[in-house]
Structure 1
Amino acid sequence: MASYTPMIQQYLRVKADYQDAFLFFRLGDFYEMFFEDAIKASQVLEITLTSRDGGGKERIPMCGVPYHSAPNYIDQLIEKGFKVAICEQVEDPKQTKGVVKREVVQLITPGTVMETKGLSDKQNNFLTSITHFEDETFGLAYADLSTGELHTTVINGPVQQLVNEVYSIGAKEIVVSEKFPPDLVQMIKERMVTTCSYEEVTDIPMEFDQIVKNLEQEKLQMSVGRLLHYLKKTQKRSLDHLQPARFFELDQSMKIDLFSKRNLELTETIRSKGKKGSLLWLLDQTVTAMGGRLLKQWVDRPLINPALIEQRHDMVETLINEYFTRQEIRELLKEVYDLERLAGRVAFGNVNARDLVQLRKSLSQIPHLKAMVEKLPIENASILDNMDECEELTTLLHDSLIEQPSLSVKEGNMMKDGFHEELDKYRDARRNGKTWIAELEKRERDLTGIRSLKIGYNRIFGYYIEITKANISSLPEGRYERKQTLANAERYITEELKEKETLILEAEEKIVALEYELFLKLREEVKVYIPRLQKLAKAVSEIDVLQCFATISEDRYYTRPSFNDERKVYITEGRHPVVEKVMDANEYVPNDTWMDKENEMLLITGPNMSGKSTYMRQVALTAILAQIGCFVPAKEASLPIFDQIFTRIGAADDLISGQSTFMVEMLEARNAIVYATQNSLILFDEIGRGTSTYDGMALAQALIEYIHDKIGAKTLFSTHYHELTSLDEELKKLKNIHVSVVEQNGKVVFLHKMKEGPADKSYGIHVAELAELPKELITRAQIILEKLESQPKSEPVEVAATKEVQSIDQDPLAQLSFFAEDKDKKQVDKQSKSEKAALEKLKKLELLETTPLEALNKLYEIQKLLKVKS
C-alpha cells in the first residue's frame, strides 16, 4: 500500500470498512471507483472502464460517473441488490494542503433507500432484522426508512412461519448476526430477492429510547436494537421520523403462507411476478400513495376480529350510500401528496422547497377533507381524531415559500417577499441595481450615438458594455476600459459600472446564502410537526382505503358479507373477482357454495379448463375480501371467520431449491395438514398427479380421510381420480360436486356450472381437441380409450377410512402413504352397485327444473350405468 499515491492510499483505507459495497469516491465533479469496484461497476452499469497511474507497478482500473447524475446510477445498483457507500470531501480543497479529507457520509442499501426515484409509490421498502434465540424462537423487527414505520414481533412457530413473515413483509434487505444459521439465510434468499447484511450489536441506542419504551420483552428489544444500530451506522444522520415501535401478534390476523399467497395471486401473479392481474391490482382504487401502501398491508394481513371487520364494513356501506360525499373525498385526496415520505425527507435532511410546497398544498386540503368525513352519518372518531389540520404549519409554509421555488436549495428563489426583512433589502438592492443597469445602457447609447450598444453579464467576466468593431471609432477616449475581445465586438467596462457591479453581485450572493440559511431554519421548524404529520397520514390513508373498497364494491356489484359462528359457508352466485374483471361481465358464470358442519368437504370433479380451480380460488378470495373489510363478489355471502388459508393449486417446480413439482406439491400439502385447524380453509387441486396413478390416488384418498377425520377444516378438493367419488359413502361430511359439461355433435361444451354429484368422465381427449392437437393423434387416442374402457377392470381396492390413523406430528409426509392395496379382499358386485347408482341418479333428477337436453344427458348416464357387465 505504501507504494500507492496518497489519494489511492486514502481510498483503500476507506474501502477497507466497506468491502461489501461499491465505494463512490468523490474527486471533483465525479464519483470515481477503482480496482475491483471499477471492473464490476463498468459491467453492471455499462460504463467505460479506464485506468490511471496510482503509484504502483501497474495502472489501476478506474471508472466514474458525474456527481449530478449519480442518483440514476445508484438506483440501478440498488435495484440489483448492491450497496453503495458515498464518500464525500469533508474539507474545502482551497483551504487544505495535501490530500483533501474524505469520509463516507451515507451507506445506501436496498433496505435504506430514501430518494423517491428508487421507491415504488404504493409499496413499502422494508429493512428487516431477524434475531435467532437459543429456544428456537425468532425476534423480528422491520422498518420503512422512507415512512418511519417500525414493527416488531416474536415468532414461536417453525422456521417456515418465519419465512412466511419475511415474504409477507416483502423485505428488501435482512439484517442478522454473523452466527445466524447460514442455511436459513439461504432459504430466505431463495424464496425472495433480498440482500443480507450483518450487525452484532443489539442494545437500544440512547437516542431511540422513546420509540421503544413500550417494548417490555427482551427479545423484542434485541431485534429492534439490531435494526436501529444498523440504521444509525449506515445513515449517519437524524432519524427523528422513526415512529414508536408497534408490537403485533401473528395470531391477530389471518395466516396465509407464502405458497398460498402465490397460488391465490394476492399481490402479484405467478407468471409475470407483477401486480397486474392480482387481487391487489383489482382492488387498488386508492388515490394516494399512502393509501396504496396501507391497502397492500391489509391484503397481506386480513383481520380475524369480527368487531374490527364490521367497523370497516359499516364505513364501506356508508360510503357507498353517500355517493356524492365519497366523490368529493376522492377529489380532495387527489391533491394530497405522500405525507409519510415527505415527513421522512424532512427528518432525513434531503427535503427541498418544492417538497415543502407539496406539503403545504396537502395540508390545505385537510380541513375540507375532515368536513366531508364529518358529514358521513356514522361514528368515525378513530379517523377524525387523527385528522390534525396542523394550522400553524400550514400558515408558516404559506407565508414563507413561493409557488414555484427552485429545485436546488442552494440557488435561492425560494422565499416570499415580506417573509424576512434583511432578505427584502438585498432583493431591493438587486432590483434597483438592474434598473440602474438598464438606465445606464440608455445613457451610454445617447452619449456615444451607438444604437447597437448593449450591457450584458456572464458569470466569468461579470457586467460589460459590448460594442461592435464597426462602432469602436465612435467611443470617447479614456472613458472605456477594454475587458474582452470577441471576433466581431469588443467588451468594455467603466468605473461607474464596476462600482455598481460590486453592489449587485454582492446582493445576489447574500440573497442566495440567506435564502439557504432561512430554508434550513424552516426545515428545522417543520421537523417539530413530524409526529403530527404521521398521525394525519394514517388517518388519510385509512379513509382512502375505505373509499377504495366502497368504489370497487359499487362498480363491481359486490355485496356486504355476514359472519356466523356455525362454521357455515353460504355463498350465492359467487364470482372470481379478477377473472370476472378480465372477462366480459356477461360471460362469467357465477356459482353457489354451501358448506356447514355436516358438509365440511367438497370433492370436485370435472374436466380441465372447466373452471374447477377458478371456483376454488373464488371461495378463498371471497373469504379474504370479507376479512380485510371489503364487500364480496356474490349475490349473498355468510361466512365463518377463517384463521388460516392453505392452498395447493397448479404445478410448479422449485428449481432454485432443487425440488420437483411433486415434492413442492407434497410440501405444500404437508404445510396444510400440520398447521390447519378446524377454523381453517384448505384448497387442494389435483393432489397426487405428479406420480403414478395408484400412488397418486392413494395419497389423495389418505389426505382426504386425514383432513376429514383429524382436522375438520373446510376443504375444497378437486381431482381427476373418479374412483375417489365413492368416498362419500364412507366419509359422512364429504360431498361430491362437479362442473357440468355437455357434449354436442361429439364436441364438449363447458358450462362452468357447479352441480351436485360426481362427473361421469374427464373429457381429457376433448380438451386436447380444443387445444388443436393433430386430428390423427386425437383419433388414435379415442381408439385407445375405447379399447381400454372395453377391457375388464380390476377394481381398485377400497380401504375404509381408518379411525386409527397414526399421528403425523413427527413425520407427516411419511404417513401420507398409508393407503395400501388389499389384494385378498373380495371383488364388489359391480352390477348391483351400478344399479344402485342408477337408482340414486333417477331419484335426484328434478324433471321440472331440467331442460330437454339435460334430461337426455341424464338418461344417457343412467343407461350407461345399467349396461355395466358384471
Structure 2
Amino acid sequence: MARSAVRHQPHPAAEPASEGSAPAGATPMMAQYIEIKAANPDCLLFYRMGDFYELFFADAETASRALGIVLTKRGKHAGADIPMCGVPVERADDYLSRLIALGHRVAVCEQVEDPAEAKRRGPKSVVHRAVVRLVTPGTITEDRLLDPARANLLLAVGRRKLSDSAFAYGLAAIDISTGRFALSEVPGADLPGAIARHDPREIVLSEAILSDPALARLWQETRAAVVPLAQAELEPAAAERRIREQFGVSTLDGFGQFSRAEIAAAGAALLYIARTQIAARPPLSVPSREAGGATLSIDAATRANLELTRTLSGERAGSLLEAIDRTVTANGARLLAEHLSGPLTDLAAIARRHAAVARLVEDQGLRGEIREALARAPDLARALSRTGLGRAGPRDLAAIRDGLDVAVALRDRLAQAGDLPEDLARLGDHLGRADPELAATLRAALSDDLPLARRDGGFVRAGFHPEIDESRLLGQDSRKVVAALQARYAEATGCRTLRIKHNNVLGYYIEVPQSVGEACLKGLMQEFVHRQTMVDAMRFTSVELGGLETKISGASDQVLALESAVFEDLAARILAQAEAVAGIAEALAGLDVAGSHASLAVELDWRRPEVDESLSFAIAGGRHPVVEAALRRAGEPFIANDCDLSGEGRGRIRLITGPNMGGKSTFLRQNALIVVLAQMGAFVPAASARIGRVDRLFSRVGAADDLARGQSTFMVEMVETAAILNQATRRSLVILDEIGRGTATFDGLSIAWACLEHLHEANACRALFATHFHELTALGQRLPRLDNATLKVAEHRNQVIFLHEVVPGVAERSYGLQVARLAGLPAGVVARAGAILKGLEKAERERPGRPRIDDLPLFASLAPPPPPEPEPAADDGLARMLDAIEPDAMTPREALEALYRLKRERSGAG
C-alpha cells in the first residue's frame, strides 16, 4: 500500500534563510518571488513569467526530478547560483497532473497587472503577482487533471468525545469538481472502513486527530495525502459560521440535524477549500446527511480482499467495478462506483432500484433509446463546477448546453413510456427542471467551432451580438486593407517579395530581402522608417501602416472585450439555475447506472434478487462475476454453484473442505459479491437469489505479510479475524478462509475450532468457512446449524481433475501432492513427499498422536529416482476408445464419465 503524503504547514520562519526573506542585493523580481514563496512554504510555487511558469531554488530541484525537465540557473542569490526550471503555460496542466499524482501541492502565481502599468512606475518596477489558487489532490477541477470515472473527494475528519477513551468521528466528503457535499458520523471502530469506502484523494483534519497514537497507523497507511490544520482554526463556532456563509443562511436548521463532529468536519473542509481556492467559491450542494447504518458496512480489509473497486495491486482492471461497468457517461461511472462502495440496507430503496432496472431489462426499446441519448451527454456536473469557480471555458458552456438538450429529450421519452417505476419517474421529473430559455440562449450564443479558452475569442455565434459582428467586420476589412497596402508598396518599390508581417514585438512591419533593402530606402525614403536589419532581410514601418495597426488592434481588443462580457453573462445565467442543472446532472447519472445494470443483466443473463428482512441466504446457480468474465474471454465455461445459509432467527454456517485449486476461494468470494451487487441495486449472476438483508460484510480470504507494520501473515490473519468475531451480528455475512493455517498444526486447529464455535453460538451469523483442517468436519454432528460441503474432484492415474462443483460432504483428502506435481515441483521431490506421507500415515495408525521424524527412514540418496516402469500396452479396443476422445471438446463431467468407461474397458480386457 502506498504511503500517504503527510504534509505539515510550517511557519515561514522555518524555511531556509536563503528563501525565507529578501536580503539586500536581491533583484526586485527575486525579492518578489522570495516573499510569495515564504507565504506558501508547503507548496511548489509556479511563478508566472511571460509564457512560462518558473520554479526556483529547492522547488526547481524537486520539480526537475519529478518531471524530468532540465534544471538550469538564473543569476545568483546569497553568493550562490539560483537553480531554475520552467514549464510552458499552455502545457501546465500536463505537468500539474504529474506533480499532483506524486503527492505534491502547487501554488499558482499569476501576473495580476498589465506589464505596461509596471513600466509606468519606473524602470526597475516588477509586475505585481499573486497566488490565485493552490492545486492539491483533493481540490482539482480541470478535466485534464481528473479521472473522468472517479470522484475526486476531499475528506475532512472531525470528532466528538463520547467517554474517556471513545470518540465519534464526523466525515465531510466534498467533491468540488461536481459540488457533492455529504456528511456522516461513525464510531471509532468504523473509521478505517468509512475512509476506505470514500476513497478520498486528500484528507484534512486537526493536528490533535493526526497526533492521536491510536490513529497513527491509519494515517500512515492511507493512500490519500493527509493535511493537518491548526486546532485554533477549527473552533466549533467558526465551523458553523463557515457553513452558514457558504450557503448564505442564518441557521443550519433547514438542512437537518448535524452532530458536533459533522459540523467540525464540514467547517474544516470549507476552511481548506477557501484557503486553496483563494477568492473563488465552488457551487456546493446543500450538505446531505447519511444516517448511521444506511449502507452495508464493509471494513477496509474486506474491501481489499473482495477487490470491489480496485485489485490488491491498486488497478481498476480486474476489479468488480471494471467487470460490471456498462455506463456510457463519466457522471454515471462515478455514481456506479459510489453505489458499489456503499450498498444500501434500506429494503424499500433497494427494491426501487431493482424495479427501475427490471423495467429497462423488459423494455429493450426504451433501454436502447436512453443509452443512445446518454452517450451524447457531456460531463454536466464538472462543467457546472468549473463555471461556478470562474475556470470555465467556452466548451464548458457548450457542455451544459448539450447536457440540457439531452435531458429534455430523455424527459420527453420517459413521459411517452407510460407507467414507470418510482425511481425512473423521479429521474424524469428532475430532467425537466431547468428553464428551457437557458439552453436556447446557449444554442444561439455559442458558435459551432469553440476554442479551449475564452481568451482565444471567436466563440460567439455570428448574429447573436451586433457590436461583435461590427467589430469583426472591421477587423476583416482591415486585413483586406493590409493586403492592398502590401500590393501598393510592392508595386512602388518594384520588389515583388515585399511582405507586411506581424509579431508580438514589432507589431505590423514591412519586410524585404536584404538585397533590395537599400533600393526601398531610396525609393520611399520619406515614407519608410527603418526598424531592424536581419541576416537576410530588412524591416521597416510607415505612418500609414502604424495607423492601420492601431485600428486593427482596437477592433481585435474590442471583440475580445465584448465576447468576454457575453461569456460572463452566459455564466451568470447558468449559475442562477445551478441547483436545477446539478439536479439534471444527478438524474442523467442515475439513468445511466440503471441502464448499465439492465444492459449487464441482459448481456450476461443476470437475475433480479429478492432482498427481504429475513435471515435467508439462498443462491441457486451462483457465479463469480470477475472470474466468469475472465473465463468467457478465454472461451471457457464457469461452473455455477448453489449456496444456502438460510436460518430462522440464526444463520447457518457452511464448512467447506477440498483441495487447493479446487475453487474454495472463488466460491467464498462469489457469494459475498452477490450480496454487494444485490444491495447496491443491481441484478446478480445467479439463476435465483433470496437474501435476507445483510448489515455488515466481513471477508478474510488469502494471506499476506505486512512487513511495513512489522506483522507476519499470522498476525494479520488474527487481527482481521478478531475484528470479525467482535463485530459480526446475526444479520452479518462472514467469509473466512484457512483460519489458523499460519501457525503450528495443533495451535491452528484449536483456533479454527474455537472461531467456528464462536460464530455459531455468539455471532449466530450466516457464514462460509473454508479449511484444510479436516478434523473440523466432525463439528457438523455437534453444531446443529453447521453443514459440511466439499469441492468435487476426480482422479485418474495419480492425476487430479478439479470439477469446481460444491457438493454436500467432506473431502477425503487434500490432494496436496497432485497440486505440487501440477505446479512443476521436481519429480524426485514429489516422489519423496509421497513416501514421507505414507510413512506418516502408517506411524499415525500404529502410534496414534503426532508422529516423530525419527520414526521415519531418511531418503537414502539424493540421486533422481529410477524412471517409472512403462505402462502395459493397451489392447486395440482401448486404443480405439482413446483415439475417439477429444479432450478440448469435453465438459468436466463428460471427461469423468469417459475415464470410467476406459477403466471398465481395461478391467474387462484384463
Same fold (TM over 0.5): yes
Give 3-state SS (helix, strand or coil) of 1:547's partner.
helix
How far off is 1:456 after superposition?
4.7
Q: Cα distance, 1:288 vs. partner?
A: 0.6
Q: Could you list the runs of 5+ residues in structure 1 that have no partner in the other structure?
A: 798-849, 861-870
- Taking a change above 3 Å as real, the CA distance of residues 747 and 460 of structure 1, as seen in their structure-2 partners, is same
Whole-Å separation in 1 of the counterparts to 2:126 and 2:481:
46
Give the structure 2 partner of residue 208 of structure 1: 246
1:292 aligns with: 333
Q: Does the 8 Å CA contact 1:625/1:632 hold for their aligned counterparts? A: yes
User: CA RMSD of the aligned region, Å?
Assistant: 2.8
User: Aligned AA for 1:594?
Assistant: D
- Conserved 8 A contact 2:658-2:790: yes
Task: Name 2:836's counterpart in structure 1.
Answer: 784
Aligned counterpart in structure 2 of residue 46 of structure 1, from 61, 68, 82: 68
Task: Give the partner amino acid of 1:543.
Answer: L
User: Per-residue deviation at 1:367?
Assistant: 1.7
**Corresponding residue for residue 320 of structure 1:** 361
TM-score (norm 2): 0.83
Q: Could you say which residue in structure 1 is the equivalent of 2:57?
A: 35
Deviating more after overlay: 461-470 vs 291-300: 461-470
Give 1:422 deviation, angstroms: 2.0
1:24 pairs with 2:50: no
Sort the Cα spacing of 1:443 and 1:81 in 2 relative to 1 into closer, same or farther, 3 A.
closer
Report how far residue 42 of structure 1 moved: 2.8
After superposition, the Cα gap between the structure-2 partners of 1:637 and 1:143, relative to the gap in structure 1 and judged at 3 Å, is same
Q: Hey, what does 2:643 align to over in structure 1?
A: 593
Q: How does 1:83-98 map to 2 (within 5 A)?
A: 83-92=105-114, 93-97=118-122, 98=125
Task: Give deviations 1:184-239, integer Å, cap 9, x for gaps.
Answer: 55322333212221223332325214485514333322221111111112211232
The alignment status of 1:119 with 2:146, answered yes or no, reads yes
| 1:622 aligned partner | 674
1:106-163: CA deviation from partner (whole Å, max 9, x where unpaired) = 11111111222221101111111111323211121120111111111122x23x3111
Alignment-derived partner of residue 396 in structure 1: 441
Match of 1:334? 375
Q: Which secondary structure state, in structure 2, belongs to the residue aligned with residue 385 of structure 1?
A: helix
- 1:65 Cα deviation after fit: 3.1
Other structure's SS at 2:36 match = helix
Superposition pairs of residues 560-709 of structure 1, within 5 angstroms: 560-584=608-632, 586-597=636-647, 600-709=652-761
1:225 corresponds in structure 2 to 267
Indicate the residue corresponding to 2:195 in structure 1.
166
1:455 and 1:57 map into 2 onto residues whose CA distance is 48
Q: Please, which of 445, 448, 452 is the counterpart of residue 407 of structure 1?
A: 452
Q: Is it true that 1:68 corresponds to 2:116 in the alignment? A: no
3-state SS in 2 of match to 1:370: helix
Moved more, 734-743 or 92-101: 92-101
Q: Which moved more, 1:768-777 or 1:128-137?
A: 128-137
Q: Structure 1 residues 442, 23: CA separation in 2 closer, same or farther (over 3 Å shift)?
A: closer
Residue of structure 2 in register with 1:187 after alignment = 217
Q: Structure 1 pair 707/507, CA: closer, same or farther in 2 (3 Å)?
A: same
Q: Secondary structure of the equivalent of 2:711?
A: coil
Q: Could you tell me how far 1:789 is from its partner in structure 2?
A: 1.1
Output the CA distance in 1 between the equivalents of 2:470 and 2:324. 55
Cα 1:171–1:95 shift into 2, 3 Å:
farther
Alpha carbons 2:731, 2:765 under 8 Å: kept: yes
Counterpart in 1 of 2:597? 549
Q: Any residues of structure 2 matched to 1:212-611 within 5 Å, and which?
A: 213-217=254-258, 218-270=260-312, 272-376=313-417, 377-379=419-421, 380-388=424-432, 389-440=434-485, 455-463=500-508, 481=528, 483=530, 497-584=545-632, 586-597=636-647, 600-611=652-663
CA contact (8 A) 2:329 2:592 kept: yes
Between 376-385 and 171-180, the greater mean CA deviation after superposition:
376-385
1:603 touches 1:717 (CA, 8 Å); kept in 2? Answer: yes
Partner of 2:814: 762
Which residue type is aligned with residue 547 of structure 1? G
Please tell me whether the aligned partners of residues 3 and 56 of structure 1 are also in contact (alpha carbons under 8 angstroms). no
Would you say the 8 A contact 2:495–2:516 is kept in 1?
A: no
Give, as a single letter, the amino acid of the residue that structure 1 aligns with 2:460: M
Cα separation, 2, equivalents of 1:45 and 1:471 = 47
Q: AA paired with 2:273?
A: L
Equivalent-residue separation in structure 2 for 1:658 and 1:374 (angstroms):
61
Assess, with a 3 A threshold, how the Cα gap between structure 1 residues 28 and 486 changes in structure 2: closer, same or farther.
closer
Tell me the distance in 2 between the aligned counterparts of 1:494 and 1:32. 38
Quick check: 371-380 or 317-326, which moved more? 371-380
Q: 1:179 to 1:683 in 2, by over 3 A?
A: same
Task: Identify which of 197, 208, 215 aligns with 2:227.
Answer: 197
Aligned 8 A contact 1:237 1:348 in 2: no
**2:139 and 2:154 in contact (8 A); partners too:** yes
1:481, 1:58 → 2: CA distance?
49
CA offset digits 1:667-705 (Å, max 9, x no partner)? 111111111111110000010000000000000000000
Q: Are the equivalent residues in 1 in contact too, given 2:510–2:539 (CA < 8 A)?
A: yes
Cα pair 1:480 1:492 within 8 Å, conserved: no
Name 1:129's counterpart in structure 2.
156
* Inter-partner Cα distance in structure 1 for 2:247 and 2:452: 36
Distance change >3 Å, CA 96–CA 465, structure 1 → 2: closer
SS in 1 for 2:405: helix
- The residue aligned with 2:179 is 148
Is contact 1:357-1:403 (8 Å) kept? no
Residue 637 of structure 2 aligns to a residue whose secondary structure is: coil
How far the C-alpha of 1:372 sits from its partner, in A, is: 2.4
Q: Specify whether residues 429 and 627 from structure 1 end up closer, same or farther in structure 2 by C-alpha distance, changes over 3 A only.
A: same
Read off the aligned partner of 2:619 and give its amino acid letter. Answer: I
Q: Distance in 2 between matches of 1:558 and 1:730?
A: 38
Q: Is the 8 A contact 1:575 1:589 kept in 2?
A: yes
SS at match of 2:454: coil
Q: Which amino acid aligns with 2:300?
A: L
Find the counterpart in structure 1 of residue 866 from structure 2. Answer: none
Cα distance per residue 1:234-266 (max 9 Å; x no partner) = 211232411111110230111111111111111
Alignment partners' CA distance in 2, 1:226 and 1:755 = 55
Q: Secondary structure at the match of 1:792?
A: helix
TM-score, with normalisation over the residues of structure 1? 0.87
Kept in 1: contact 2:733–2:767 (CA 8 A) = yes
Aligned residue type for 1:401: L
Task: Output one character per residue of 1:527-577: Cα deviation in whole Å (capped at 9) or x when no partner.
Answer: 222211110011000000000000011101101111344422221111111
Q: Please give the per-residue CA displacement for 1:514-538, whole angstroms capped at 9, x wherever unaligned.
A: 2223323332332222211110011
Contact 1:4 1:54 in 2 (8 A): no
* Separation in structure 2 between the aligned mates of residue 497 and residue 566 of structure 1, nearest angstrom: 88
What is the rounded CA distance, in whole Å, between the counterparts of 1:657 and 1:7 in structure 2? 48
The 3 A distance-change label for structure 1 pair 675 and 446 is same
SS class of match (1:386): helix
Q: Give the whole-Å Cα distance in 2 for the aligned partners of 1:175 and 1:606.
A: 47
The answer to whether the 8 A contact 2:657-2:772 is kept is yes
Q: Deviations over 1:596-619 (max 9, x none)?
A: 227701000000000011011111
Give the distance between the partners of 1:396 and 1:362, measured in 2 at CA: 14
**Is 254-263 or 471-480 further displaced after alignment?**
471-480
- Contact residue 148 and residue 241 of structure 1 kept, 8 A: yes
User: Residue 9 of structure 1: CA displacement?
Assistant: 4.3
SS of aligned partner of 1:716:
strand
Task: Give the Cα separation in 2 of the matches to 1:684 and 1:279.
Answer: 20
Identity percentage over the alignment? 36
Aligned residues: 803
> What is aligned with 2:765?
713
1:362 to 1:267, Cα distance in 2 relative to 1, 3 A: same
Tell me what 1:830 maps to.
Answer: none
Contact 1:189 1:195 in 2 (8 A): no
